[in-house]
Amino acid sequence: MDFPAHPDAVTAEWLGEVLSARVDSVRWEPIGTGQVGDSVRFHLEGAGVPATLAGKFAAEDQTSRGTAVMFGLYRKEVEFYRQAAPRLDVRVPRVHFAGLGADGGEFILLFEDMGPARQGDQIRGCGVEDARAAMRQAAAIHAPSWGVGELVEAPWHTPPEGLGQKLGALYPQAQAVWRERYADTLDPAMMRLCEEIAELSEAFFTREDRPQCIVHGDFRLDNMLFDIRGGAEPLAVLDWQTVTAGKAMTDVGYFMGTGIGEALWREHEDDLLDLWLAEMETRGRPLSREDIWHDYRVGILSGVTTAVFSAAFVERTERGDANFLSMARGGCSLALARDSLSAFKETL
C-alpha cells in the first residue's frame, strides 16, 4: 500500500506531501461513534496548513472489520468520494486523500475538518428543523443522480454476486441474536415484526427493485453533522459505506422511522414528506405522494433490518445496544403504523 492505514502511521512528512505544504508536527485523537470504521482528528503545526484535519480508517475491532470487508463497505465509501460526490449536491467533507487496499480491508480518507459542529445523536434524537435539513440533503442526493446511468449502474457499488442470498441466509441468525439480547427490552409487537421480517428474509434481501438513484443506505442522525463550521452551514452527511443504487424511499423511510423516532414522525411525517417532494421538484424531479407511497412503506423496513443485522455483526458496546434499540423502536413503530410488511408482501 502507498498510504498509512492507521493514525499512528500518519507522519508530518506524509501530510506535507499530500497538502503540498510544510507540516512540522502532527498528533491525533479519536472522534465520532462509528462501529465499522474508526475516525480521528489530526492536529497539525506547520506553514500554511489547516490546524486540524479529520481521518477515517478501518475498524480496529476485527468483527466489525470482517463485516465491512464481507460487504465491501470500505471500498464503497472510498469510491463514493472519488466518483459520486463531485456529481451530487449533498454536502460532504472535502477529501484531501483517499486510499484503499487491494483486498478492501484497509483504507484511509483524509478530510477537511468541519468543526466546530454538532454531531447528530441517534439516541437523543433531534428537533424538526434538523429533520428538515436532513430531508433537503436527501433530495440533494436523489435528484442529481435520478436515472443517471453512470452513477446508478456504476460497478463500484454493485453488490457482489450472491450477496442477497448470503444476507437472506445470515439474517435469521442475526434475529436469533436480537431476540436473545432484547426480548425483554423491546415491545412485544415490535419483536413480532422483527420475527416476521426474519421469516421473509430470503425474499426481502433477494428482491430486485429497479434502482432510481444513489441512496445513502444508513441515513440517520449519527451520520450527520449539524451547524458545521460554527453554524456557517446547516448540515453535512457522512459515512457513505452503505451507499448503493436503489429506491429513494429507502433513505426517506429509513430516516423517518429509524432516524428520527416515533415522537417526531407522528407529528411531522406529512410535512417532512412534502418537503422532500418540494425539494425534488425544485431540482427538476417532480413526484407526487401517490408516486412514492408504496416505496415509502417498504423503505421503512430497511431501517429495522439494519438495526437487527448490525447488532449481531459489529462489535457490541453499551452505546451500540442503546443505538440499535433506538433505531428499532422508531422503525418498528412507523412500520406497524404504515403496515409496511403488507406493502412488502404485495411485491412477492
pLDDT digits 0-9 by tens, 163-176: 899 999 999 999 99
Arithmetic mean of pLDDT over the chain:
94
User: What is the CATH architecture of 7-112?
Assistant: 2-Layer Sandwich (3.30)
CB 30 within 8 A of CB 39: yes
Rg (CA), the chain: 20
- DSSP assigned state of 303: H
Mind listing the pLDDT tens digit for each residue in 277-315?
999 999 999 999 999 999 999 999 999 999 999 898 877
Structural domain boundaries in the chain: 7-112, 118-345
Listed residue (38, 79, 69, 67) closest to 55, CA to CA = 38
What is the C-alpha to C-alpha distance for residues 337 and 265, in angstroms, rounded to an integer? 11
Q: Residue 177: exposed, middle, or buried by beta-carbon count in 10 A (0-12, 13-18, 19+)? A: middle
Mind listing the pLDDT tens digit for each residue in 198-215?
999 999 999 988 999 999
Q: Phi/psi at 130 (nearest 5 deg)?
A: -65, -40
Model pLDDT, residue 159: 85
Q: Phi/psi at 342 (nearest 5 deg)?
A: -65, -40
Model pLDDT, residue 34: 64
Model pLDDT, residue 314: 79
Collapsed DSSP state (helix, strand, coil) of residue 26: strand
Q: Which helix (H) or strand (E) holds 113?
A: none
DSSP 265-292: HHHHHHHHHHHHHHHHHHTT----HHHH
What is the C-alpha to C-alpha distance for residues 319 and 231, in angstroms, rounded to an integer? 27
CB 111 within 8 A of CB 104: no
Listed residue (73, 116, 316) closest to 56, CA to CA = 73
Q: Say which residues have a Cβ less than 8 Å from residue 115's Cβ, sequence separation at least 6.
A: 41, 52, 228, 229
What is the C-alpha to C-alpha distance for residues 143 and 213, in angstroms, rounded to an integer? 8
Give the CATH fold of the 118-345 domain: Aminoglycoside 3'-phosphotransferase; Chain: A, domain 2 (3.90.1200)
- The sheet with strand 22-31 has its strands ordered as 22-31, 37-47, 52-58, 107-112, 95-100
Listed residue (187, 181, 32, 122) closest to 323, CA to CA = 122
Better pLDDT: 337 or 320 = 337
